[in-house]
Structure 1
Amino acid sequence: MAHPAFPCDVCVVGGCGHVGLPLAITFASRGLKVKIYDINERAVEVVRSGRMPFLEPGAEEALRQVVGQTLEVGTDPALASQAEHVVVVIGTPVDEHLNPTFHTMRRFFQRLIPHLRAGQTVILRSTVFPGTTEKVRDLIAAENPEVHVAFCPERVAEGRAMEELVVLPQIVSGCDEHAVEAASRLFGTIAASLIRLSPLEAELTKIFANVWRYIQFATANQFFMIAADHGLDFYTIHDALTRDYPRMAGLPRAGFAAGPCLFKDTMQLSAAYNNNFALGHAAMLINEGLPNFLVRHAKTRFELAKMTAGLLGMAFKAESDDPRESLSYKLRKLLEYEAGAVLCTDEYIQDPSFLPVEEVVARADILFIGVPHRRYRALKIPADRPVVDVWNLYGKGALPG
């Protein structure tokens, strides 16, 4: 597929992370010549050795088959000059006031632009503030008007990337027809089908999807809180709502709505709508308030100040080693204030302060399930040990009596 003017097909910038690396491996597995440019030297060395720097089922086996063959990894930004397509996985972050910070992306592209060449197509991949694709096009065009800009949002779930990259439709948009055609050819090598939109339509499609999930989780968490405040088990009601009743099949279970995307993107959409997104603000207050709700309810039943609390699971989701924006850390802070002592454990995150799960279960007077890792299902927890189990991992209800 390589263009005669470029020695490789695609360079994934920031390609050693959760979004970029599965994509680079998938492209390379289809025979494309792929470069990864990343400033994280440790991650680059890990990937170069054929190992994944994070958990992603199916990725490491595929990586070993392509690294050093169709996949090259390095820390030199000049790698971007070699590729017909430059996929950028840098998204728009939010600041401490929950406002998008485009200046971070501007600084990034100011460093990348000297390495871009005429005829290349730059493809934004991460969620961005609506209108960002056009801004990036203008920024690049001021220096090199013959570089084309596209937006093809990542749509996969962490932990299912290798599967979903090749079965989900890929949204493709661009600032000109050349960008659209180039991005379509590239993603046509891996995606099941393509959906063409304008850049703004694509940006909103991506951000709407993440915000919708966040609002769904907030609905379940609000119902959970209402049931608990009535002294009822939410999961008894959830079962009645959803069992053999298709109209309620989309109601999630309660739990921490966390991770690097959902909360951030909800705040981005609010900012894009002049902070008039009351539904998003309400969802944020509910989801971010869940750890406090659990601790408050535990305080009404137990003398937390005299108890050792055990917190099982610190990742942001089950079977993950990703701690980014995990609400388990917020729960830990609250427990450190309210409980006599706090012990933490996780099956995948390496932290010298964490203890083996068996030790936490043995020493704790009360347990909180932060993340429902499968391993925890098999634990032998004493019958008299109270468990705050918002996920209903053990099928005994969320809050101890």
Structure 2
Amino acid sequence: MNFDAIVIGAGAMGSAAAYYLSRSGQKTLLLEQFHIDHQLGSSHGYSRIIRYAYAHPVYIRMAKMVYPLWQALEAEAEETLYIKTGGLDFAKADNVHFLATRQAMADSGVIFEELSPQEVASRFPLFRLDEDMRAIYQADAGALRVSRCVTAHVRLATERYGATFLENVTVHNIIPFANSVTVETSQGTFSAGRLVLGAGSWSQPLLARLGVTLPLEVMRQQVVFFDVPPEYGADRVPIFIAWGDPHFYGIGDVDHTGFKCAQHYGGEIVTPETVIRTVDESYVEHIRAFARRHLPAIAENPICEASVCLYTNTPDENFVIDHHPQYPHIAFGAGFSGHGFKFSTLVGKMLADIASQHPVEINLDLFRSDRFKK
């Protein structure tokens, strides 16, 4: 069966790519090895942070581009995907990443406030900062409803724009040609003029079949949710990132699922097939220890849920967004390193444009796949 475009992977980036390809009038096939909104990768759950607070100007520019795209998707899907919470970044006053973030936001024209520990405690009573800490508050940060974002992309692609979506499909082979590609699967063989690969933690073996080798590592990440009263809902407390060694982050209660809190990075390197998917008791205590210091009001609350997800990391923690070196009609996104979801609707649009050989609105040198060979 022939299509204009095939997308492999219906997670954050793949679902978005299928949406933009089908919306542009291309006959699109979206393939998923599991079912929509499965719990085995990186594109499921209740919430992810969206923010301008980055130390690199390219990410800040991408954030400026992605907010309007989420708003447009919300309007078309007729559901709320983004919750504006405001965002609190805090760290020791001399923390290098904190200082670089503050400088990059100032240089990029992002409006924010600088707060002392006393000012934070007065405005946001949940938080307790050490006396040698400082904070940045940025009002536009918030939470994205993860599963709803993914399913909105897929629903609109299929129901409004006529995309074909096949679940529980195993990709056996990808055969590239000069101006097309053939994908052999457990549900048949399909051909198209262009291909987008957005397979998350399963990207490495698929790309290897195309001769693309990337130094990706899959990391096990654990997340806990504190049972909290309504005053700690996402619409009432800011998301936070505590920069240090290690980093921590959190999101207020979204849709009565609990106050999310986790350490960013630090998990063991695994494979998607062998990862232990139950949360360690020692990790729960690790999160409680952080909360006792900085979120004392909820530190001893019951844990209403704990879960495991996956990061797929690059050595420099920057994304890979590129096309195949020999086949420009094959685009791929990978290695989103635990901070990609907020950009997913933009990345999907960029992947659709790359595969269609249309110009992309931003310089992608930071995300080139060949940077690891230098």
Q: What TM-score, normalized by structure 2, do the two folds share?
A: 0.24
Structure number, greater radius of gyration:
1
**Greater RCO (Cα-Cα under 8 Å, separation 6 or more):** 2
More helix by share: 1
More strand by share: 2
